[in-house]
Chain A
Amino acid sequence: MALLEVNNLDVRFALRGGDVRALRDVCFSLDRGERLGIVGESGAGKSVAAFSLLNLIAKPGYIAGGSITFDGEELSGMKDRGLRRIRGNRISMIFQDPMMTLNPVLSIGEQMVECLKAHRRISTREARAISLHKLNQVQIPSPETRLDQYPHELSGGMRQRVIIAIALLLDPDIIIADEPTTALDVTIQAEIMDLLLELCEKHNVGLVLITHDLGVVSQVTQRMLVMYAGRVIEQGPTREIINDPQHPYTQGLINALPQMATPGSRLNQIPGSMPSLSNLPSGCAFHPRCGFVNDANGEPRKACLDKVPGFVDSGNCRVACHMVAELVNQQQRDSREEIL
């Protein structure tokens, strides 16, 4: 059994006009020391997926169904007291904006000691020693002085290093990183990503990396999920998805990158934009933008318009698409005929 298992996760936001379903049927798992990427555009539900793991969704959001099992324990529906044992201790989080996550009126040392003392019965001196050790691990220059500095005295990259140190403070099993480098410059982003990767490998920490940057996912993670309009539409080994995406949306996303086109030529754009979650199209949510909605006769596939696609296995990947399902069925039929 995997360390973290998420099954049929269903998250809704109770709004005046009725419930908005932010996540539907999200399933994934994470083994010890594994690195998983969650990719999607804004509004796809990737941050909601991450936050719901630790039940950090604010009202009016709530988990309407499904299960989140961590190390044999069910997390959804767990009381706050129980969750506090896990949050920051066994599963820790790194958020996007390092300026927003650090408390501006506490020194770096105070914030780290506070976190340690909340989970362990240790003296302030011991806590400071551990903090210093962690700051050393994230390669902050002159860590002793940093302990007594305030967040505003550090640069953006340095602050994100402090956040990583805090995330590692209690030797967690899993780190959930929500766009950890989006607010940073490219060279700093590369350094921070290298550091995070190195530390996760060294300490055998699992990583759930949420990002919109396919380049980062392809370099850091082993498996990935692609999300669209609150659903996972494709999942599998990162390299296979990047090299040979099956779902038309994933294909569109990768082909839209400037690095995939000849310089100066027209980019392969996906027409339209992501639908609002409160007003999803019928059937497959991607069908109004999909270039493969028509079948061999040039008619729109009825299933695409009416039926939400389920997952089909295509190689090592799982894809939610009627077109891919047809192809897979066809291949299976062909191979069966060959055998006969």
Chain B
Amino acid sequence: MTAAVSQHDPKASAALAGHRENDTAAPLMEIRNLYKRFSLSGDFLEQLKFKGGKLVREQEHVHAINGIDIDIRRGEALCVVGESGCGKSTVARTVMGLLSPSQGEIHYDGQRVDHLSAKELLPYRRRMQMIFQNPYASLNPRMTIQQTLEEPIRLHHPDWSKERVRDQVRDVMDSVGIDPDWGSRFGHEFSGGQRQRIAIARALAVDPEFIVADEPISALDVSIQAQVLNLMMEAQQKRNLTYLFITHDLAVVEHFGTRVAVMYLGMVCEIAPTGTLFAKPRHPYTQALLSAIPRLEDDRPQHIRLQGEVPTPVNLPSGCVFHGRCPHANERCRQEVPALIDVEDGARVACHGVEEGRL
């Protein structure tokens, strides 16, 4: 409750952020200098080309993540926002170990996990779970709900008795508001909101401490979104969960997030406590993003119009990735990549303009 109140009051939220900065507890998840590239050029033979009478090997890459550093603290809900193609889902998948990073390290609870084998990773997999965007695709249509929910428990607790597994399934179904007697039904017999509850139940079934949720409510209707968000907040309080929440919906972030990381073309351009970010966005991209939220209050708001469109992540722009669309870009922005610098209120911004005090 204190967090909720203080987010409304910028001063209190600054104090809270400062308090958190002093918090000596190690973060649950550390992402260090992470890069992820996807090859566009196919296999080795497809990469070979004749050029000027010589056989050369050419490779093209999509630069999905370009050096991000994020700490996720225990008990917080860190939201990652950005537009499509900014690499936010890739971050989620890399953190979960579903993709291996091209460069950089991921530490979970002080242990480096990105280079572990599947077997070594198994104990961590129990502690970190994932919720996907589309509950129509993420539930196996040929398994009953009971089977779907039992599967992860059996995998992680092979020594549990049948009764114990069944009890755990009943408990977890109960906690997400799905009648435990519906276990023999299949996924298609449920509505979208109920399916997403089942997907959440599957994540909670093994008592994780860290949950990565990739756009968990984007596919749902407004009235159902509220139900699922409430459920996720309830679970966070009861089970002391830590969330990495990927979304493009800024209104949800404002409500749900403890801190927010704004991504653009595979880089973090601003990371700040939620209250600070919404009260005082500093990066020009964050400002444009916030001004574009369709709000109920104003009749005709003034959007900050950005020039052009997001460049392709295949050929990254030099310097600051945002310079081509930024109204404040200068020569330095075109050449030098800005680093995240600390500003007041616990916010960190990657912008030369902010650093120089121009903005």
Contacts and interface: CB of A to CB of B under 8 A. Distances in A.
A41 B221 contact: yes
Interface string A36-69: 0000011000000000000000000000000000
B3 A264 contact: yes
B255 A264 contact: yes
A191 interface: yes
A158 interface: yes
Interface stretch (A98-106, A112-120, A209-217): A209-217
Contacts of B222: 41, 212, 214, 253, 256-257
Interface in A160-193: 185-191, 193
Interface residues of A, number: 45
B3 A253 contact: no
A187 B83 contact: yes
B4 A263 contact: yes
B248 A186 contact: yes
A266 B233 contact: yes
A252 B223 contact: yes
Interface in A241-282: 242, 252-254, 256-271, 273-274
B305 interface: yes
A41 B193 CA distance: 13
B251 interface: yes
Interface in B1-43: 1, 3-5, 7-8
A205 to B, nearest CB: 18
A218 interface: yes
A135 B225 CA distance: 38
Nearest to B300: A219
A186 B289 contact: yes
Contacts of B192: 273
A194 interface: yes
A157 interface: yes
A155 interface: yes
A252 B226 CA distance: 10
Give the one of A155, A215, A271 with max B CB within 10 A. Answer: A215
19 contacts: A41-B224, A185-B84, A186-B293, A188-B309, A215-B295, A216-B294, A219-B294, A219-B299, A253-B222, A258-B226, A258-B229, A259-B254, A262-B4, A264-B233, A264-B255, A266-B233, A269-B226, A269-B227, A273-B224
A239 interface: yes
A186 B4 contact: no
Interface in B262-313: 274-275, 288-289, 291-296, 298-301, 303, 305-306, 308-309
Given A42-B221, A267-B230, A261 B309 contact: no
B191 interface: yes
Contacts of B250: 186
Contact of A267 (B191, B194, B255): B255
B83 A219 contact: no
Contacts of B299: 218-219, 239
Nearest to B301: A219
Interface in B56-84: 83-84
Nearest to B227: A269
Give the one of B3, B295, B298 with max A CB within 10 A. Answer: B295
Contacts, number: 127
Contact of B255 (A187, A189, A191, A263): A263
B256 interface: yes
B3 A258 contact: no
Contacts of A158: 309
A297 B6 CA distance: 41
Given A214-B222, A215-B295, A185 B248 contact: yes
A157 B225 CA distance: 26
Given A256-B225, A262-B8, A265-B4, A190 B292 contact: yes
A258 B294 contact: no
B233 to A, nearest CB: 7
B252 interface: yes
Given A155-B309, A263-B255, A265-B4, A189 B221 contact: no
A267 B228 CA distance: 10
A175 B89 CA distance: 36
A45 to B, nearest CB: 14
B251 A257 contact: yes
Nearest to A183: B84
Contact of A256 (B194, B226, B300): B226
Contacts of B303: 187, 190-191, 194
Given A219-B300, A263-B274, A267-B226, A187 B292 contact: yes
Nearest first, the 8 A-B pairs at minimum CB distance are A215-B294, A264-B4, A258-B255, A185-B83, A190-B292, A256-B226, A41-B221, A269-B226
